[in-house]
Amino acid sequence: MSSQPATSLSGASSPAAQGAAFRVLSAISFSHLLNDMIQSLILAIYPLLKSGFNLSFGQVGLITLTYQITASLLQPVVGLYTDKHPKPYSLPVGMGFTLVGLLLLAVAPNFGMLLVAAALVGMGSSVFHPESSRVARMASGGRHGMAQSFFQVGGNVGSSLGPLLAALIIVPNGRGSVAWFSVAALVAIFVLYHVSRWYAVQRAASKGKPAARRGGAHQLSQGKVLFAIGILLVLIFSKYFYLASISSYFTFYLISKFHVSVQSAQVHLFVFLFAVAAGTMIGGPLGDKIGRKYVIWGSILGAAPFTLMLPYASLFWTGILTVLIGLILASAFSAILVYAQELMPGKVGTVSGLFFGFAFGMGGVGAAVLGQLADSTSIDFVYHVCAFLPLLGIVTILLPDVEGHKKTAAA
């Protein structure tokens, strides 16, 4: 097979030598946008599904749980396997699962088939995220935080577009119009095929060459590394449990408390998710410059004052506060992911699969638990409880200074 088309995608035969390969990063970020836009349609059409199938809040949460748990259980397995046996062409195959799940979502006749559709979309995510995160790191040119943010922001923009497109297209035309978005999945498969060709060329070019020295690798003991990973997972729990309260139930909260229309509530959700996308782009480059631990600290704990005010705010201030929460809270993930990759060098797929998977799992568990809480109390009470979750950011103080340890080791 000729390598020219794949190589031309990046514009360089060696991304590490030539700097960040922005054409590759753009392609994988665009694919992330399409992938997460499709996934967010599930969340965005919850009001339609709830009324169409007479679902309780608990059943709504179960849809999210099915999707998130499928992704979270498989992602670490996929990452661990591809660290040892890279599969460049798994990217378009994974998107094929998402395509099938999307089409099934449009025609599912009952609640059980809705769960199957959600599971298929989750399987697509489980394949997509570990390998695409590896591609982003390969194309980073050493600017790992920037590359992860650039990759991640595509997904966040896609997630923000889901509610807006649902308000403009699906709500007026009905659930069957979800099938129209299969075009986006087909475009993603085409793009990912060419990314996979570039990935395969890079793998072939590196065969037989000695691995690059990991100069300046940290000298932390295995126990300290595992402890630090545990702290990072606590932070992921606080972030994604809180985000589940917004992504799954914010439309219901606005409708219940402020009596807005479904379309108006979905526009508010779009604004929040767009703020999340903007915040994601900030965290990675900032971590490259000032250190990832400081970004993690400010991102999780810094959102707490605004989450604590949110349950008492008017509709106008609710919009302002959710934008601030999205901007601040979203900046953490890229920093957390690259920090973890530096804790466990050479295990990009395993780390990416673990953290993407755990994030998806916590989102799913959070949606299910909060749905049951809303059924037994009220949707307003959910936001009073979740307001305290960002306070867990205080545990960031327990993280070791990986950058400092790397500099010491290098010296």
Reading the block at residue 196, the tokens are 């996979």
| CB of 176 closer than 8 Å to CB of 107 | yes
CA–CA separation, 28 and 252 (whole Å): 33
Contacts by residues 262-267 (CB-CB < 8 Å, ≥ 24 positions apart): 262/47, 262/167, 262/171, 263/167, 263/171, 265/47, 266/44, 266/163, 266/164, 266/166, 266/167, 266/171, 267/163, 267/164, 267/167
Residue pair 219/409 in contact by the 8 Å Cβ criterion: yes
Within its chain, how far is the Cα of 27 from the centroid?
17
Q: What is the pLDDT of residue 175?
A: 82
Which of helix, strand or coil describes residue 140? coil
User: Considering only CA atoms, which of 229, 217, 238, 283 is closest in space to residue 398?
Assistant: 229
Prediction pTM value: 0.71
- Residue 71's Cβ-count burial label (10 Å; 0-12, 13-18, 19+) is buried
Query: Where does residue 344 fall: left (phi above 0), alpha (psi -120 to 50 degrees), or beta otherwise?
Result: beta
pLDDT in tens, the chain (411 residues): 334 444 444 444 444 445 447 788 999 999 999 998 888 787 778 888 888 888 888 888 888 788 877 877 788 888 888 888 888 889 999 999 999 998 998 888 999 999 999 899 889 988 898 888 889 888 887 788 888 888 888 887 887 787 778 878 887 888 888 889 889 999 999 999 999 998 888 877 766 555 444 444 567 888 999 999 999 999 999 998 998 888 888 989 999 999 999 889 988 988 898 888 788 888 888 888 888 888 998 999 999 999 999 999 999 999 999 999 999 998 888 889 889 988 988 788 889 888 888 887 787 788 888 988 999 999 999 999 999 999 999 999 999 987 655 555 544
58 burial via Cβ count (<10 Å: 0-12, 13-18, 19+) = middle
Domains and CATH numbers, the chain: 20-204 (1.20.1250.20), 220-403 (1.20.1250.20)
